[in-house]
A = this chain, B = another copy of it.
Amino acid sequence: MLVERVVSQGLAHYSYLVGDRNEAMVIDPRRDCEIYVEKATDAGMRIVDIFETHRNEDYVIGSLELASLTGAEIWHADAQWDYKYGRAAREGQRWKAGRLEVEAIATPGHTPGSMSYLLRDSGGLPWMIFTGDALFAGDVGRTDLLGRERSEENAALLYHSIFNKLIPLGDGVIVCPAHGAGSVCGESIADRLWTTIGIERNFNPRLQVKTKEEFVAGATKSQPERPPYFRKMEEVNLEASFPRRRSVPRPMAPGDFGKLAEDAQVLDTRMELGFSAAHVPAAQSIWLGGLASFAGWFLTYEKPILLVTEDNDPTGAANILEREGFDDIAGYLAGGMLAWHMAGLESSSLATITVQSLCRLIDAPAPVWILDVRSDKELEWDGSITGAQHIHVTQLPERGREVPADRMVYVFCGSGLRSMVAASYLQARGLRDLTVVLGGLAGWKSRRCSIQRG
Contacts and interface: CB of A to CB of B under 8 A. Distances in A.
Interface string A24-61: 00000000000001000110111000000000000000
Contacts of A121: 190-192
A125 B200 CA distance: 11
Contacts of A42: 313
Contacts of A198: 170-173, 196-198
Given A202-B172, A274-B277, A335-B44, A342 B251 contact: no
B342 A203 contact: no
Nearest to A137: B121
A64 interface: no
Given A247-B69, A354-B346, A194 B174 contact: yes
A37 B245 CA distance: 14
B438 A347 contact: yes
17 contacts: A46-B248, A71-B247, A122-B190, A125-B192, A172-B195, A172-B199, A172-B200, A172-B201, A173-B196, A174-B196, A273-B277, A273-B337, A277-B277, A338-B417, A338-B439, A341-B438, A344-B356
Contact of A170 (B3, B202, B311, B343): B202
Contact of A355 (B70, B203, B341): B341
Interface of A: 1, 3, 21-22, 37, 41-42, 44-46, 69-71, 121-123, 125, 127-128, 138, 170-174, 190-203, 245, 247-248, 250-253, 270-274, 276-278, 310-313, 315, 334-338, 340-347, 349, 352, 354-356, 414-417, 438-440, 442-447
Contact of A352 (B197, B252, B277): B277
Contacts of A173: 196, 198-199
Contacts of A251: 22, 44-46
B335 A442 contact: no
Contacts of A414: 342
B122 A191 contact: yes
Contacts of A447: 344
Contacts of A44: 251, 312-313, 334-335
A362 B250 CA distance: 38
A66 B248 CA distance: 11
A355 B21 CA distance: 23
Contact of A439 (B194, B199, B315, B344): B344
A71 to B, nearest CB: 7
Contacts of A202: 125, 170, 172
A356 B343 CA distance: 11
User: Which of the listed residues A277, A352, A440 has the most CB atoms from chain B within 10 Å of its own CB?
Assistant: A277
Contacts of A123: 138, 190, 203
A385 to B, nearest CB: 13
A445 B344 CA distance: 8
A71 B338 CA distance: 27
Given A273-B337, A312-B44, A416-B338, A70 B247 contact: yes
Nearest to A37: B248
A101 B119 CA distance: 31
B172 A342 contact: no
Contacts of A342: 414-416, 439-440, 442-443, 446
Contact of A172 (B197, B334, B417, B442): B197
B127 A199 contact: yes
Contacts of A127: 192, 199
A416 B343 CA distance: 12
Nearest to A203: B125
User: Which of the listed residues A123, A340, A342, A417 has the most CB atoms from chain B within 10 Å of its own CB?
Assistant: A342
Contacts of A344: 355-356, 439, 442-447
A176 to B, nearest CB: 10
Contact of A341 (B199, B253, B349, B443): B443
Contacts of A195: 172
Contacts of A439: 338, 340-344
Nearest to A69: B247
